[in-house]
């Protein structure tokens, strides 16, 4: 399963495309909500269903559209991040993404390559596995909080964020510098 850090950082990177970075830091937590089921020791439960997510989010979206449109974009981004979590999980283990309409789905995507004296060979493999839904409570739900993938993504995100900050400082001089220039 993608670790919590990977889920959070993936959500953060997507969120910052839609909202300011400081808001993305908070909204990215929506990408972790599906794993609240782990607290009940039933990982990949109904919280991992897109059908249930839409059933919960639709009334909220309608209420926001009717009464508080200024928050509609945030709710839509949160739904996108929640959906991203489920999509990432589908690639690591059976996930009840369409429950109660369909059983659990697990997609395995692999692309292997080899460079030989006769050329380059690329072999893609896509396997879809359908399994019955299993919502039994476990003795323990284990999983990585941080993995090598999450750590690599954290380093990449930090470098990307630092580069964006440097680029923004070069384009927009600080207010202090502007104040100094306007004083003479």
Question: What's the N-to-C CA distance of the chain in angstroms?
Answer: 60
55-71 tens-digit pLDDT: 999 999 999 999 999 99
Which of 73, 76, 81 is closest to 57 using CA atoms?
Answer: 76
Q: What is the pLDDT of residues 23-40, one digit of tens each?
A: 999 999 999 999 999 888
CA neighbor of 127 nearest in space, from 89, 87, 92: 92
Average pLDDT of span 147-165: 91
Which sequence spans correspond to the domains of the chain?
Answer: 4-99, 148-179
**CA 157, 113, 9 angle in degrees (round to 5)?**
15
How many angstroms separate the CA atoms of 110 and 149, rounded?
16
Average pLDDT of the residues of the chain: 89
């Amino acid at each position: 399963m993608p670790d919590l850090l990977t889920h959070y950082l993936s959500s953060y990177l997507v969120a910052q495309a839609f909202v300011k970075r400081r808001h993305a830091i908070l909204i990215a937590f929506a990408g972790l909500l599906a794993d609240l089921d782990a607290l009940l020791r039933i990982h990949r439960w109904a919280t991992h269903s897109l059908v249930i997510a839409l059933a919960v989010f639709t009334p909220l979206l309608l209420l926001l559209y009717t009464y508080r449109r200024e928050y509609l974009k945030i709710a839509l981004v949160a739904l996108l991040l929640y959906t991203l979590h489920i999509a990432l999980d589908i690639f690591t283990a059976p996930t009840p993404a369409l429950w109660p309409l369909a059983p659990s789905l697990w997609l395995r995507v692999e692309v292997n390559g080899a460079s030989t004296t006769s050329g380059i060979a690329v072999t893609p493999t896509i396997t879809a596995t359908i399994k019955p839904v299993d919502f039994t409570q476990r003795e323990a739900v284990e999983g990585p909080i941080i993995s090598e993938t999450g750590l690599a993504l954290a380093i990449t995100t930090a470098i990307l964020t630092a580069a964006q900050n440097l680029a923004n400082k070069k384009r927009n001089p600080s207010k202090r510098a502007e104040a100094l220039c306007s004083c003479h």
